[in-house]
Chains A and B, each alone.
Chain A
Amino acid sequence: MSRHERWAAGAVGLMVVAGAAIFLYAPTDYLQGPVQRIFYLHVSSAIAAYGCFTVVLIGGLVYLRRESLVADRFARAGAVVGVVFTTVTLVMGMLWAKPIWGTYWTWDARLTSTLVLWMIYAGYLLVRRLADPGRQAARIAAVVGIFGFVDVPVVHFSVTWWRTQHPGPVVVNDALPPEMLATFLLTMACTLVLAAVLIAIRYRIETLSDERMHLAEEVKVITAPEPRMAP
């Protein structure tokens, strides 16, 4: 078992512990019933996505300043993991909204800004995939990642800046009973560990992919026939 596989096994083990707390330890909400348990992973995934997009922001800034390949690889890793966690946030939120609001989706500020966030970083990944790999693609992606981050505080503060249907902050307002708060904090910690492990794995994949691409280019140069001189 490799180092990354051991980390992945540890992260999965932690998520199983979090799952046990969500389903066996946390009390059932009096008003919402069992569906309230969606909250624990829904909010934790959103926070993990913020963390991933912060990695993209820092990676982009460092790349533009120093052209550091390490920073660019971290940015690529952070973007794909962030999009996965944003997808979890959106879909779990929709599945919570249906029984509580009676609809899967409403064009509320929090939901709309989260969808925009998902689209910005999906666009970032598309730029990386469609553009020829190199400095130009890395620079464009860095700019998208930096400007895209503007949406992160918009998502986070949308429930306080505008009147929204989405519930407001419950953790900072001491609105959770101790068992629910403990379950939420445990789930958030485990989800952040999983996000960090996923970024580490994706970083290694990006590094090996870059090395393999450079190796293939070197081989192409060595094996290419020499151009013939005109007589």
Chain B
Amino acid sequence: MTYLIVAYVFAVALLGGFLGWSLRRLRELEGPTSSGLRR
């Protein structure tokens, strides 16, 4: 049972973390640039 829980916690953390990190990066890129430039 422990292995099952660890496996799914790992999968949720990795996939969820990757999705969250990607969305955050996308939001940063869709906002104004750090140098104040806008497309």
Contact = CB atoms under 8 A, between A and B. Distances in A.
A35 B30 CA distance: 42
Decide if the interface of chain B is mainly helix, strand, loop or mixed: helix
Interface in A204-231: 204-205, 208-209, 211-212, 215-216, 219
Contacts, number: 82
Contact of A198 (B8, B22, B33): B22
A71 to B, nearest CB: 20
Interface in A123-157: none
Contacts of A41: 7-8, 11
A35 B1 CA distance: 6
Interface string A196-208: 0110011011001
B2 to A, nearest CB: 9
A34 B30 contact: no
Report, nearest first, the 10 A-B pairs whose CB atoms are least far apart: A208-B29, A95-B7, A92-B7, A95-B3, A201-B22, A38-B7, A88-B11, A35-B4, A84-B18, A34-B4
